[in-house]
Structure 1
Amino acid sequence: MLSQKRRWLILSVLGLFFFMVIVDGSIVAIAIPQIAQSLNAATGTTTLIISVYLITICATLLLFGQFGDQYGRVQIFEIGTFIFLVGSFLAGAGHTIEFVLGGRFVQGIGASMTMANSYAIVTDTFPAKQLGRAFGVESIFISLGALAGPGLGGLILGSFPWSYIFWINLPIGIICLIIEVLVFPKSIRHKEKGIDWYGAILLALAATCLYLLTTQLNTHIAYLAGLLILLGGFSWCFVKTEQKALRPLLNFTIFRNEMFRKSIIVVFLSFIVSYFFTILAPLYLQLVLNYSTQFSGILLMVAPVVSVFASPMAGYISDHYDQHVEMTIGMSILMMTQIGLLFLTGKSEPLYFIGLSAIMAVGTATFGTPNSVIIMQSVPEKLRGMAGSTNSLVREFGLVLGTTLSTIIFYRVLSIINHREIDTAIGVSKSSFLVAQRWTYAVGLLLLGMALLYIIYAIRKDFKHGKKRIR
């Protein structure tokens, strides 16, 4: 039996490392103009530094979730911590775009190993009656990571070269690794053996096709069509393989759980939209408002600071009130924020931007915390590792699609307005930038509207059939 003090120390380390892993998915966003100039690459190409990291995580999350279930979640988490630190060093040491991408690949492997097992370790560590508060605290770190990446990157870039946005992980990660070895409980291994390597290969091939699609958006339509066909084929084969496998990476029976399925769908849509802001906001601050990298970073820190207070409150509400209602309110707040983003014009700044960022943080916490609790409590204990890794996979896949979709829409609209192919935001007129940004956020609003309607539909269906809510 773990003491309460030890539980919260474990949670703090899990949260802190989760923070670093999430930050590294977005911290590059504000550095894109600087990295592009340093490595002599277009801003559209530099965005691949974000994509390769996220897609690597998508390709391997389920595999490492299965590793954790069989060989011990804590042990896999510790190994992942070490690999993540190695990748952080390599990414910062790169002098070419190819070397940086290689470092980001290694980083993604380590991040995947930790993310696939973090939710399950929290659920194993805390009793059910404390899970809301535990996930509320972890949501602080996750929200901070998701929102603070560009802001923290701006603060770092104000005093150091861009390499330090990766090297900042090293001292913090080493401290986390030491505490993991000394404090975390011993890994529990299960007698059942067998890794679904065939499924892992198919998932990796599908992820590779997705990555190639993000790198070849401006190539011939026939080539893109071929990649789409391959992506669909590998995905179809993966589903069929998992349905027949004795120990599948993804047991599709988990989606028969209606509570789990509903929560996963809405969180998927929300994470797609969240990266629209992550990609566009740093460009807006630096290229439209002409703010310095350091001041842009300070403004981008508003949302994570607010989330420090909003996430614990959301966790408390989740433990005491209807979690579905809380989710609905949170999604409604996020929609209000998205509507506000449509009216970014460069006027009334920075107060308008600060207000939107604060409201967004409240909405993210109010929606995300109860959603995580519902997902993890809706499945039996033996499937918690799979549920946690599936939740992380859906989040990362959403972020990949968010990065890709926002990039496609933004640069396509820019190209249409300027009557020529454009793959960089540097040097374009402010008016065309704002129009392209508005169209991108409008698509995000549509996706959030779909998520909100689905939540309302699910609640009405549950009420009609008299289903018991998780509290």
Structure 2
Amino acid sequence: MFLYMTSTPPKWLYFSMVATGVFFATMDSSMVNIALPAIMAEFHSPLAHTEGVVLIYLLTTSATMLFWGHVSGRLGRQRVYTTGLLIFALGSFLCSLAHSLPVMILFRFVQALGAAMMMANGPAIIKTAFGSDQLGRSLGLMGIATSLGLMTGPVLGGFLIEYYSWRTLFMLPAPICIAVGLLAKTFLPRETPPSRQEPFDWQGGFWWVALLVIATSTLSHAADPQRSLALLTGGTAVSALALFFFLRRESFLSTLAAAGDHSQPSAIIPAALVRKKALLIAVSTATMAFLCLFSVLILTPFYLDRVLGLPASRIGLVMLAIPVTALVTAPLAGWLADYIEARIVATAGLLVCAIGLYSFTTLTGSSAPIWVAGRLGFFGVGLALFLSPNSASALRSIGEPHIGTVAALLATARTLGMLMGIALVSLAFALFFGHFSGGLDMKDYSGQQADNFIKALRYSYICFLSIGIAAVFLSASRPKAPEKNGAAKKDQPMAAPDDPEQ
């Protein structure tokens, strides 16, 4: 527990520290998406290799967030969060100096370590400060910080790329994040470490990282025009083996814990959490929603650049539609999450996302940029309606002892969805574009291939639309939430009962 939260906590001070870190982290990620075509041009790399800049970031955060959630329980959320800000700043500055694509990817790995430390602890700090009854509203307001970061990134990124260089995108956040990290170290409260500290399950962690790295590398290789059937088969087999050993390890540790044997480390994902249907659905739908989101964020800038021929600054303005609509919708979604069942609000948001994905299948070679922005905005409304209620339902379903793990698990689900989205959209588009163009890669694109690009785009979006529809039905199957009395209890953190059906 936070030492300064025994009475009335200065919750808005803590909120501002976390929100500032979220703002700059999301601004950076949205700028990088806009920069992909420029990075691809400077390093003369194919699309599948260039997307490694985004892929390594998401892979690292997905693989390490559960670890940082465990570390924060030992060292304190304040220490892990502020250290993450400083490491993020260092990685960002190093990225601006990269002289080749492999070096760029290496420095993005450093940057991602810092981001994972922040993302694994931010929601837990917010829940402890605001309590369960105001959790939806606080997460909705956090959505404003996320939206502002996403809004600033494309506009500022497009301007910097067009008039300066993509390298300035990474120079900009470094000094600001250092300053915010020092402020957070001063103002965020310190924690008292628990008297009994359980060791981290390094064996399970190894299999988790191996699974993510090998599966993602296999999917990325599948999108490469020079792909090898032997490597694809071997990668798939080793991924399945890593998944088997991870699940066996988790089952073994959970069985020991249930029998009262604490001689071994706790499972990375405790069995008490796995049994909660509400949490499982929240994590699964978050993964699927972000998978669909990144199909839009990756494909649309290339469509605007290659097919419509827009300059980087205008691409940034068009892509601004998602965060603008999310900025308006997020507070409403957070308020609704405190008064209406998450099942209703979150499912409605996913339904809007699915309709938005369908609208992308109707794009043509002459679609007006304003209508592309309209499609993006509609999708953004759905995403904002989904996020706060979904996260609030997961955090409410567990008690205080597991809050760090669940916050890290939710963040892992989101980044895992992004990671899978990038890998799968690269694979789907590469296969469809290669089929329609007679084996060409995106680096060989010319205006004569516009029709083939549109066909590949349409079929790729249809694939992700099927995932979006599945997410709608899964979200609708959430267990009914307990009745609320309507009035939020003032600033009281509240632990939910450990009911497996919730």
Q: Structure 2-normalised TM-score?
A: 0.88
**Contact kept in structure 2, 1:42 and 1:423, CA below 8 Å:** yes
Of 433, 439, 442, which residue of structure 2 is paired with 1:414? 433
Aligned to 1:198: 203
Shift of 1:352: 0.8
Matches within 5 A, 1:399-410: 399-410=418-429
| 1:239 pairs with 2:247 | yes
Q: Using the alignment, how far apart are the partners of 2:215 and 2:119 within structure 1?
A: 21
Identity of aligned residues (%): 25
Name the structure 2 match of 1:28.
32
Pick one of 80, 83, 87 that aligns with 1:79: 83
1:229 paired with 2:248, answer no
How far residue 46 of structure 1 moved from its aligned partner, in angstroms, is 0.6
Per the alignment, residue 220 of structure 1 pairs with 228
Matching residue of 1:265? 284
Shift of 1:425: 6.5
Residue of structure 2 in register with 1:352 after alignment? 371
1:144 shift after superposition? 4.7
User: Is residue 327 of structure 1 aligned with residue 331 of structure 2?
Assistant: no
Where do residues 142-157 of structure 1 align in structure 2 (5 Å cutoff)? Answer: 142-145=146-149, 149-157=153-161
Which residue number corresponds to residue 475 of structure 2?
455
**Counterpart of 1:445 in structure 2: which amino acid?**
L
RMSD value over aligned CA atoms?
2.1
Letter in 1 for 2:84: G
C-alpha distance 40-114 of structure 1, shift in aligned 2 (>3 A) = same
CA contact (8 A) 1:44 1:423 kept: no
| CA distances 1:285-315 after superposition (whole Å, capped 9, x unpaired) | 1111111001111111122122222111111
Equivalent AA in structure 1 for residue 13 of structure 2: L
| Conserved? CA contact 2:64–2:113, under 8 Å | yes
Instruction: Please list, as runs of the form range in 1=range in 2, the aligned pairs for 1:361-400 lying within 5 A after superposition.
Output: 361-400=380-419
Task: Single out whichever of 76-85 and 138-147 deviates more from structure 2.
Answer: 138-147
Mapped to 2, the partners of 1:41 and 1:338 lie a distance apart of: 29
Q: 1:30 to 1:4 in 2, by over 3 A?
A: farther
Post-superposition CA distance 1:235-255 (Å, at most 9, x none):
221222223343222213312
After superposition, give the CA deviation of every residue in 1:51-110 in whole Å (9 maximum; x if it has no partner).
011101111111111001122111111111111111111111101011101100101111
Q: 1:90 to 1:164 in 2, by over 3 A?
A: same
Following TM superposition, where does structure 1 have runs of at least 4 consecutive aligned residues deviating by more than 6 angstroms?
A: none
**Number of the residue aligned with 1:468:** 482
Q: Is the 8 A contact 2:216 2:420 kept in 1?
A: no
1:112 Cα deviation after fit: 1.0
1:27 partner SS: helix
Report the equivalent of 1:107. 111
Query: 1:278 — aligned with what?
Result: 297
Equivalent residues of 1:135, 1:369 under 8 A apart:
yes
Once residues 311 and 425 of structure 1 are traced to their aligned partners in structure 2, the CA distance between those partners, rounded to angstroms, is 40
1:150–1:229 CA distance, 2 compared to 1 (3 A): farther
Could you tell me how far apart the structure 2 residues matched to 1:283 and 1:412 are? 16
Query: How far off its partner does 1:197 sit?
Result: 1.8
Contact 1:411 1:422 in 2 (8 A): yes
Q: Contact (CA 8 Å) 1:148, 1:303: kept in 2 or not?
A: no
Residue 251 of structure 1 is aligned with which of 270, 275, 278?
270
- Counterpart residue number, 1:128: 132
Return closer, same or farther for 1:151/1:225 CA change in 2, 3 Å cut-off.
farther
Other-structure match for 1:165: 169
Whole-angstrom distance in 1 between the partners of 2:239 and 2:342: 36
| Contact 1:264/1:391 (8 A) holds in 2 | yes
Q: Summarize the alignment of residues 27-66 of structure 1 with structure 2, pairs less than 5 Å apart.
A: 27-66=31-70
* Distance (whole Å) between structure 2 residues aligned to residue 362 and residue 225 of structure 1: 40
Shift of 1:360: 1.6
Q: Which deviates more from structure 2 when the two are superposed, residues 18-27 or residues 38-47? A: 18-27
CA contact (8 A) 2:220 2:427 kept: no
Q: CA deviation at 1:451?
A: 0.9
Question: Per-residue deviation at 1:18?
Answer: 2.0
| TM superposition shift of 1:324 | 1.6
**Do the aligned partners of 2:354 and 2:468 also contact (CA within 8 Å) in 1?**
yes
Query: 1:38, 1:207 → 2: CA distance?
Result: 29
Check 1:334–1:192 CA distance in 2 against 1; reply closer, same or farther (3 A cut): same
Q: What is the CA-CA distance between 1:26 and the residue it aligns to?
A: 4.2
State which drifts further: 386-395 or 151-160.
151-160
- Tell me the CA shift for residue 151 of structure 1: 4.7
**Aligned residue pair count:** 465
CA distance in 2, matches of 1:333, 1:378: 25
Per the TM alignment, residue 215 of structure 1 is displaced from its structure 2 partner at its CA by: 4.1
Inter-CA distance 231–97: structure 2 relative to 1 (3 Å threshold): same
- 1:264 CA drift (Å): 1.4
Distance, in Å, in 2 between the alignment partners of 1:135 and 1:248 is 28
Report SS of the residue matched to 1:93.
Answer: coil
Letter in 1 for 2:429: F
Unaligned runs of 5+ in 1: none
1:303 matches 2:322: yes
AA aligned opposite 1:200: G
Tell me if the contact between 2:154 and 2:317 (Cα under 8 Å) persists in the aligned partners: no
Relative distance call for 1:55 and 1:425 in structure 2 (3 A) is farther
Instruction: Give distance in 2, aligned partners of 1:185 and 1:408.
Output: 45
Matching residue within 129, 138, 143 for 1:139: 143
Distance, in Å, in 2 between the alignment partners of 1:100 and 1:444 is 29
**Which structure 2 segments of 5+ residues have no match?**
254-264, 487-502
Stretch of structure 1 that moved more, 194-203 or 413-422: 194-203
More deviation in 380-389 or 170-179? 170-179
| 1:161 partner amino acid | S
Contact kept, 8 Å, 1:7 with 1:125, in 2: the verdict is yes
Distance between the aligned counterparts of 1:62 and 1:197, measured in 2? Answer: 12
State the one-letter code of the partner of 2:464. G
